[in-house]
Amino acid sequence: MVNPAVLHRTHYYTKLYIAHIHEKLHHGGTEIVVNELRQRVYIAKIRPAVKEVIARCARCLLRKARPAAPATGDLPAARLAYGARPFSFTGLDYFGPLEVTVARHREKRHVALFTCLTSRAVHLEVVVSLSTDSAINALRRFIARRGCPTELWSDNATLSRRRPRT
């Protein structure tokens, strides 16, 4: 245009017009909106005005939004012991009961789940009951097969910081 209309960049109607052009151009970026506005009007310091309007556009904010990273704590040293042998750092949990056929009748049994905290390997031991004796027997069978763990973890607590007795 030879004599374009001169608009002040902070005026309310100027911001409405910029928002209208921004929406008309399907929420285009700064340069597209600036080029379209320059063909019709003159606005001093046009880029800051356009960036301000685009920064307040609700649709553009939603489109550019990124999911927040979850707050996670540091891993314990047991999870980072890559050079250690498997099951040096072991987690212990139980699940069940499961019905098992013994002779001609069915009995309830639980399973002790030993997990290597470093390699995420799993070792399962069938336990007769949830008594202390059954837990000790399951731990003895585990140690006989996999070796004595350095640390044994259960329910987010360390059961022993030294080698368990056999």
Helix, strand, coil shares, percent, the chain, to 5: 35, 30, 35
Q: In which order are the strands placed within the sheet that holds 157-160?
A: 122-127, 105-116, 89-102, 151-154, 157-160
Q: Is the pLDDT of residue 99 over 60?
A: yes
pLDDT tens digits for range 140-164: 999 999 999 998 888 755 555 455 5
The strand pairing partners of 124, in sequence order, are: 113
What per-residue confidence (pLDDT) applies to 11? Answer: 94
What per-residue confidence (pLDDT) applies to 14? Answer: 95
pLDDT tens digits for range 25-48: 999 999 999 999 999 999 999 999
User: What is the torsional sign of CA 87, 90, 95, 99?
Assistant: positive
CA atoms within 13 A on the CB side of 152: 20
Per-residue confidence band for 111, with pLDDT thresholds at 50, 70 and 90: very high
Span 46-73, mean pLDDT?
92
Tokens standing for 33?
């909106």
What per-residue confidence (pLDDT) applies to 166? Answer: 52
Span 101-115, mean pLDDT?
93
d(CA 165, CA 42): 85
